[in-house]
Amino acid sequence: MLAFEKRILLEYYPENSSAFANAAARLEAGEPLAYIVGEQYFYGERYKLNSDCLIPRPDTECIVERLTGLLPKGARFADFCTGSGCIAISTLCHTEGTTALAVDISVGALAMARENAALNRVADRIEFLQADLLSPEFDPGCRFDAVVSNPPYIRSGVIPTLDVSVRDHEPLRALDGGDDGMIFYRMLICRFDDFVVEGGVMLLEIGYDQREQIERLCANAGLTVNIERDYGGNDRAAIVTRK
């Protein structure tokens, strides 16, 4: 166990307690620290976690940073595949008068997102919807000034090669984007006009190697896309608009 990880565990459990010993054993077995302590900080906010939610990662903070700069005062936006709710909730925390709809297929993830909205004092500005985004019948009920999504985008064949901390502990349904990793992007870009108002924007988190595929999808749909890099220099944010 690294000194840093031990120091974090000591913030939650007395060093000589059975709870500390159990937490340390879980950590040694490859379970992520965020799941052991049940929370993670993201964009300055604190998020409770369970095994139904992906762990919020620093790479995703650039999505929130970009979205907060795009939304006009009083905008309504949707967060598809919301998970813990970190993108929607942090965006609400850092914008004025905005409201959001957070959508996920997982009941457990939505329960955590609701708790996080209350924890970060934006529960009165966000609604939640349990739905399968890939269903042809999916209808969020209106169009939005912006749609943001960090969907599953890892290729199915890559899943078995992931680090044990991800493969064996994070929800695979939130990672697996189909044979080519693009199943959610195809749906979102194809249905852009169903979800986004005139003059609005779709902001997608993408994998570091998906630029060309995203650009091709948008070109075929008659949409414009601008792809920006994250803090590590990798392609991360696809900003999609009408031409």
- For the chain, residues with pLDDT lower than 70 are 1
**Residue 131, domain member (yes or no):** yes
**Segment 145-190, tens digit of pLDDT:** 999 999 999 999 999 999 999 999 999 999 999 999 999 999 999 9
Contact predicate 171/222, CB 8 Å: no
**Residue 161, domain member (yes or no):** yes
Contact predicate 241/201, CB 8 Å: yes
Structural domains in the chain (count): 1
Question: Which amino acid, 32?
Answer: P
- pLDDT for 1 equals 61
Q: How many angstroms separate the Cα of 140 from the Cα of each of 77, 131, 144, 173?
A: 11, 9, 9, 21
Unique residue bearing structure tokens 């392609």: 235
**Residue 26, domain member (yes or no):** no
CATH number of the domain encompassing residue 129? 3.40.50.150
**Residue 151, domain member (yes or no):** yes
Instruction: Please measure the distance between the N-terminal and C-terminal CA atoms of the chain and give it in whole angstroms.
Output: 52
- pLDDT for 26 equals 93
Query: Containing domain of residue 111, as a range?
Result: 51-242
**Residue 34, domain member (yes or no):** no
Q: How many angstroms separate the Cα of 141 from the Cα of each of 36, 100, 179, 194, 223?
A: 37, 13, 30, 10, 23
**Residue 39, domain member (yes or no):** no
**Residue 153, domain member (yes or no):** yes
Question: Which amino acid, 175?
Answer: L
Q: CA-based angle 199:237:57, to the nearest 5?
A: 130
**Residue 206, domain member (yes or no):** yes
Unique residue bearing structure tokens 């379970």: 31
